[in-house]
Structures are given as C-alpha cells and as structure tokens.
Amino acid sequence: MTSANGSNPTDRKKDGRSVPSPRTADTAQQRKREDDRPGIWVGYGKLLRKFRLAAGYSQEALAPLLGYSAEQVASVEQGRRPAKAPFTEAAERVLNAGGVLATLQDDVDFAKLPPFFRDFVLLEMEAVSRFGYDPLLMPGLLQTEAYARALFEGHVPTLEEEAIEDNVDARLSRQKILTKTPLVDFSFLIGEVALRQELGGPETMREQYQHVLEVGKLRNVAIQVVPIGTGFHAGLNGGFVLVETSEHQQYGYFESQGVGHVVSDSKHVSTFALRYGKLRSQALNIEESAAFIEQLAGER
C-alpha cells in the first residue's frame, strides 16, 4: 500500500531522503537474482515443467523418482539452479522427454562457467590440440572431484555452498573433452610445486596422483613434470595454454587472480609456442614424470 504521494509508508527517512524498507530491499535483491539467471537455465526449467505436467506429476511426486528433493526440482524449474547430468538423465527416463533435455545439458553446463572463462572454453571445444603449463595447481582438466572441491572451498571471497557445487560440477563436466571424438591431442606440463601443494589432505592427494597417472595412459594425453631446482626455465612468467582449432587457428590463454585473457595476435601466440617448446624440453620425460608422481603417491 502506498501513501497519497506514491511513497511506501514503510520506507524510512534519512536526511530527507526515502530509504527502502528491509522488505523492499529483499524484493529488489530477489528480482536481481532472477535477472541474473542464465537464459538457458530458465528455458530448461520451463521445458522440464512442461514435461512434468504432461506426465501428470507434481513436483513432490516427481522428486523421489529422480532421486532429488522437491525443492531441488522446483529450483531447476524456476531456473535458479542448473540441472546436473544425472538429474537430466533421470528426467529423460521418467518423463520420456525424447532427448530434448539431454540436448540442452552442454549449454546448461557451459553457463556455470565464470564469464571471463567462456570465450576460451568455446575455443577449447573446437580444439584439435591443447597444450598447457600449470605451475601452481593441478590442471582443471585433471582434477578429481575431491581436489576441485577443496580448491573451491578455500576460495577467497568465500563461496556459497551452491556456488561450490556449480563450480565443481562445471569443472568435472569439462573433462569430457579428454575422451571426445575426434580425439584431441593434449600435453600437460605440471610444476612440481603444483604436485606437492596439498589440498584436501593426504587421501585427496593420493587419489589425485592416481587419477593423473590413469589419465596419462590415454593415447592422446602426455603428462610431464617440470621439477624444482632446474634454474631458469621458460615458464617462470606463469602458466598458459595453447590451443589449435579445427580450422588450424592458434590461440593462447592465460589467467591470474580470476581474470582471463585470450591471445589471438600471431606474434604473441608464436612467443607462447616457443616458450612451451623450450619448457617441454626442460621437463622430465613422460616415463620419468610418471615415476615421479608414483613416488609422491607412495609418500602419502
């Protein structure tokens, strides 16, 4: 209800100015959250609701059939939460969605990624080769769920639990590129510091080492360790990635403090390639690297 002059009677006055009441502020914050919902999440939610109603289920009746709570189903339908792949698989089966929801899953996952990272991921999805150097942390494409969770739980500023779940799920979803068809050629150079930096405790690190060794057995993946104590090497300026797309265009990428940069200028990309080649020659070879990681796993 408003007063004759159109102001909200619950608004407080401060220095002659109208200050929104807590209820008004809460409504504005809710509206902002709704405006921030990715369009693909909203669209997916509307389709999910349409299939649910067509099948004659309430949210409460559908939830146990999917293995989720009614609140989670409602959140997905309202576009407040993204559907995870297991949710979509169950919904396809129970609602006979004919592959419609499954078709949207990759786009739903993509919208979970930080905005600064999306341009690079689009290039990564078109890559025929991807070479990366990670000096301080395990490469995202090689992280286990426990390692990734420990990383996001330590994020500064602190992330809400839902944001942690979204980030972990998005990171694991990206790893499908390791085995997609046609195969992409991968080269990972990992700094010894990244391997020794403990996240999540000894068991998490032991699992992480074993996972890296397993991925390293793939025919299209080469993993090498850049040891400490080799003096000057070409990676001291920081981590970076090189990708070549299916159209044989080459790009570089690097990030720091939550800010990412795609490099398309041929001169700078050529410099990245030169540094990567030099750094690869200074790293342990593939067999030596596997033995080094096995040794670390045995120390845990």
Residue 160 DSSP code: P
Please report the pLDDT score of residue 25 as a whole number. 45
Residue closest to 104 by CA, chosen among 92, 122, 120, 119: 92
Please report the pLDDT score of residue 258 as a whole number. 86
C-alpha–C-alpha distance, residues 163 and 165, integer Å: 5
C-alpha–C-alpha distance, residues 247 and 240, integer Å: 21
Please report the pLDDT score of residue 3 as a whole number. 42
Degrees (nearest 5) of the Cα angle 161, 166, 167? 100
Output the pTM of the full model: 0.78
Please report the pLDDT score of residue 20 as a whole number. 54
Please report the pLDDT score of residue 157 as a whole number. 94
C-alpha–C-alpha distance, residues 8 and 274, integer Å: 65
For the chain, 300 residues long, the average pLDDT of each consecutive 10-residue run is: 44 52 50 71 97 97 96 96 94 96 94 90 94 97 98 95 92 95 97 96 96 98 92 89 95 93 96 96 96 91
C-alpha–C-alpha distance, residues 159 and 166, integer Å: 11
Helices (H), the chain: 22-35, 39-55, 59-66, 70-77, 85-95, 100-110, 115-125, 145-153, 161-174, 192-196, 202-215, 266-282, 286-299
C-alpha–C-alpha distance, residues 189 and 224, integer Å: 5
Task: Give the tokens for residue 56.
Answer: 């004659």
Residues near 192 by Cβ (< 8 Å), separated by ≥ 6? Answer: 225, 226, 227, 228, 292
